[in-house]
């Protein structure tokens, strides 16, 4: 049994902060199957200044965006060094570090995707071999550059359920259909809910879904949302903030928009679970802590909802990116064309050694 220790970094579209997962991958010498042990986790909150800069980065000029990318990379490195110090670890204890970076642009139809913070400085400043920029190669191959987590669902979590739903800034659903892994973004979730509760209540997020639970449903708005063109498309497909700004935000004029949007999310998610014949779904991501959203999903879903232990709910994506980095250094496929729509599977990511 080979053991390789990796750190995975994930900062998502919700712009809340950085997830750190410290993972040991165990490789079976006989059949090369991989399992994992989660050694530790940590979360580092963005400052309000950083959060604001990232939210507005889509409009930034070249120099401003480059400086923000450097600042973010330094924040990642500082967070990793803090984690090592906290647990009395050395850079030499690790075989690699994988970082998703912060998505600023994601327009695969234009062959464009950009995650900032993915600079060589991360390897130099931590002393650990890093893998970054996991999406660009797949986009160059004609794919969506997303989703990337399904290979971890297939290799590390398969058997826990028939389907895997991540409730982050966007909801993503993965499952094995026939002999192939299939996955796609279902609908925006936290990225819209957070926008609405900030706009209406001045809150960064809707704790437990309490604000959403208070309202009623605007049936006309719900019908409009459910009939957006994206939902008619077959996968592979993915979503980005630009799409949300064009297609979702302008619709949310109703005073009941928040509650209505919760029902929209639950209806889109359960429709897709039923359409894919998924009888049990494994739910992770920040939205799994939203009691109101989970309640609505359970009410509308005919199957079984599985909520794993908290550390998996919160850090599954960071674990997955550690795994993608691990596969990249070995030269193995880490992005599946069956879920991204690319011309071919790929071993994606830029490797930088300290």
Domains in the chain with CATH codes: 2-143+325-352 (3.30.420.40), 161-307 (3.30.420.40)
Residue 224: pLDDT band with limits 50, 70, 90: very high
| Full-model pTM | 0.91
pLDDT tier for residue 31 given thresholds of 50, 70 and 90: confident
In 10 A of CB 6, how many CB atoms? 27
pLDDT band at 158 (very low <50, low <70, confident <90, very high): confident
**Phi, psi for 90 (deg, rounded to 5):** -115, 155
Q: What is the 3-state secondary structure (H, E, C) of 270-322?
A: HHHHHHCCCCEEEEECHHHHCHHHHHHHHHHCCCEEECCCHHHHHHHHHHHHH
- Is pLDDT of 27 > 90? yes
42-58 per-position pLDDT tens digit: 999 999 999 999 989 98
Looking up tokens 């599977």 gives 345
| Residue 14 pLDDT exceeds 80 | no
CA distances from 244 to 88, 148, 166 (A): 43, 20, 18
175 falls in which pLDDT band (50, 70, 90)? very high
DSSP lists the bridge partners of residue 7 as: 22, 97
pLDDT at 75: 98
Q: How far is CA 77 from the centre of its chain?
A: 20
Q: Give the chain's mean pLDDT.
A: 95
Q: What is the pLDDT of residue 138?
A: 97
pLDDT of residue 16: 84
pLDDT per residue over 290-344, tens digit each? 999 999 999 999 999 999 999 999 999 999 999 999 999 999 999 999 999 999 9
Structure confidence at residue 274 (pLDDT): 97
């Amino acid at each position: 049994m080979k053991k390789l220790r990796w750190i995975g970094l994930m900062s998502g579209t919700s712009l809340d902060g950085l997830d750190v997962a410290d993972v040991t991958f165990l490789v079976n010498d006989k059949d090369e199957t991989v399992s994992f042990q989660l050694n530790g986790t940590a979360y580092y909150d963005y400052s309000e200044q950083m959060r604001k800069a990232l939210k507005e980065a889509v409009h930034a000029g070249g120099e401003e965006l480059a400086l923000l990318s450097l600042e973010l990379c330094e924040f990642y490195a500082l967070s990793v060094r803090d984690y090592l110090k906290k647990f009395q670890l050395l850079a030499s204890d690790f075989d690699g570090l994988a970082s998703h970076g912060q998505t600023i642009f994601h327009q695969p139809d234009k062959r464009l995707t950009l995650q900032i913070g993915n600079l060589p400085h991360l390897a130099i400043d931590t002393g650990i071999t890093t893998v970054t920029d996991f999406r660009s190669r797949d986009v160059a191959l004609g794919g969506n550059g997303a989703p990337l987590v399904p290979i971890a669902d297939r290799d590390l979590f398969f058997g826990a359920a028939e389907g895997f739903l991540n409730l982050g800034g966007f909801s993503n659903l993965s499952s094995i259909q026939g002999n192939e892994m299939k996955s796609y973004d279902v609908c925006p979730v936290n990225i819209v809910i957070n926008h609405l509760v900030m706009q209406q209540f001045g809150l960064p997020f809707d704790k437990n879904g309490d604000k959403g639970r208070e309202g009623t449903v605007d049936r006309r708005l719900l019908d409009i949302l459910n009939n957006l063109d994206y939902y008619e498309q077959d996968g592979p497909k993915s979503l980005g903030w630009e799409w949300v700004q064009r297609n979702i935000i302008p619709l949310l004029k109703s005073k009941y928009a928040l509650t209505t949007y919760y029902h929209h999310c639950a209806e889109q998610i359960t429709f897709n679970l039923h359409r894919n014949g998924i009888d049990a779904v494994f739910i992770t991501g920040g939205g799994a802590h939203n009691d109101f959203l989970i309640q609505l999903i359970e009410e509308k879903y005919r199957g079984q909802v599985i909520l794993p232990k908290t550390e998996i709910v919160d850090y599954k994506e960071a674990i997955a990116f550690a795994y993608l980095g691990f596969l990249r250094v070995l030269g193995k496929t880490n992005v599946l064309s069956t879920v991204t729509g690319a011309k071919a599977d790929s071993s994606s990511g830029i490797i930088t050694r300290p």
